[in-house]
Structure 1
Amino acid sequence: MKKDRAPDLTDARIAIVVETLDAWKGKLTWDLLIDAVEAATGHRYSRFTFAEYPQIANAFSLKKESLRGTLPRTRGEPRDERVRAAIAQADRYKSKVERLEAENQLLLEQFVTWATNAERKGVTMDMLNAPLPKPERERTKGTK
């Protein structure tokens, strides 16, 4: 019997994977991530599928690097559930900020590459910054 293929990774599913990584605690491997995403979505993806998407691959690498430098907590966890929840939320936000800053840096590097290549081809910054044409909304199929 042929195994069903997981549906394509949409922006929403990619967001679930990245948010799972943002909240990740403890050992991180591709297999553990795949298991966690399957539990969250009901679909099992492969490591190779995840690695094809730069946003997932970068988030995985960043989380892996950040986990390498951490040691287990030596103090006990707070008893108050609200405090534990607030700490967990702060940790998720911190991970998300680190990931977004790294993604922003990659986008800035891409922009510099594009701008340099455009300049080499004679495209000026004024040309690149020109506003986009407005869509013709009044036009219908019958009239031109």
Structure 2
Amino acid sequence: MAKHLTDKDIKNVVELLDDWPTDARLTWDALVEAVEHDHRLKTTRQTLSKQPRIKAAFGEVKKIVSGNTGKANSAERLKPPSLKVAAERLETKDRTIKRLEAENARLLEQFHRWIYNAHLHGVTPAQLDQPLPTKDD
């Protein structure tokens, strides 16, 4: 039985998706295998797809990978290996940035929704800004 994912597990899976090679086919089964191989975490497709961050990252990477024909054009074949590696790193960073920007936008939207709902229920900003209790409390 698959275990529940921790925040660290989710972060690891999303980072794995950020680094997913564009010439490799992306499926939920392939992701499950990669997670088990790279992070020694036995999980299922259902467990992974329940997590909004993982599901969103999977969809974004799937669009990128699906748009890739897998055949290198002539300009790509003529690149020296160091430039190819640099281009792959830049592409990975760009994908990470796009994913984080989309995630940030979703979190901001959720924050605004919470603020509005808190206001409707009479929760004050001072109440919202109270620190979390410590273990000693």
- Give yes or no for TM over 0.5: yes
Partner residue, 1:91: 91
Unpaired runs of 5+ residues, structure 2, are none
Partner residue, 2:117: 117
CA deviations on 1:58-90 (whole Å, 9 max, x unpaired) are: 111122233344455423345533222211211
Match of 2:5 among 5, 9, 25: 9
Residues 97-106 or 50-59, more deviating:
50-59
Q: Quote the RMSD (CA, aligned, Å).
A: 2.7
Shift in alpha-carbon separation, 1:10–1:77, aligned structure 2, 3 A: farther
Partner residue, 1:142: none
Equivalent pairs counted in the alignment come to 133
CA deviations on 1:29-59 (whole Å, 9 max, x unpaired) are: 1112112222212333210010122211111
TM superposition score normalised by structure 1? 0.74
Q: Which structure: greater helix fraction?
A: 2
Percent of pairs identical after alignment? Answer: 35
Shift in alpha-carbon separation, 1:36–1:134, aligned structure 2, 3 A: closer
Structure whose alpha-carbon radius of gyration is higher: 1
State the AA in 2 paired with 1:107.
L
State the AA in 2 paired with 1:19.
E
CA deviations on 1:82-122 (whole Å, 9 max, x unpaired) are: 22221121111111101101110110110111011011112
Shift in alpha-carbon separation, 1:10–1:133, aligned structure 2, 3 A: closer
Match of 1:40 among 38, 61, 65: 38
Shift in alpha-carbon separation, 1:82–1:49, aligned structure 2, 3 A: same
Unpaired runs of 5+ residues, structure 1, are 140-144
Partner residue, 1:132: 131
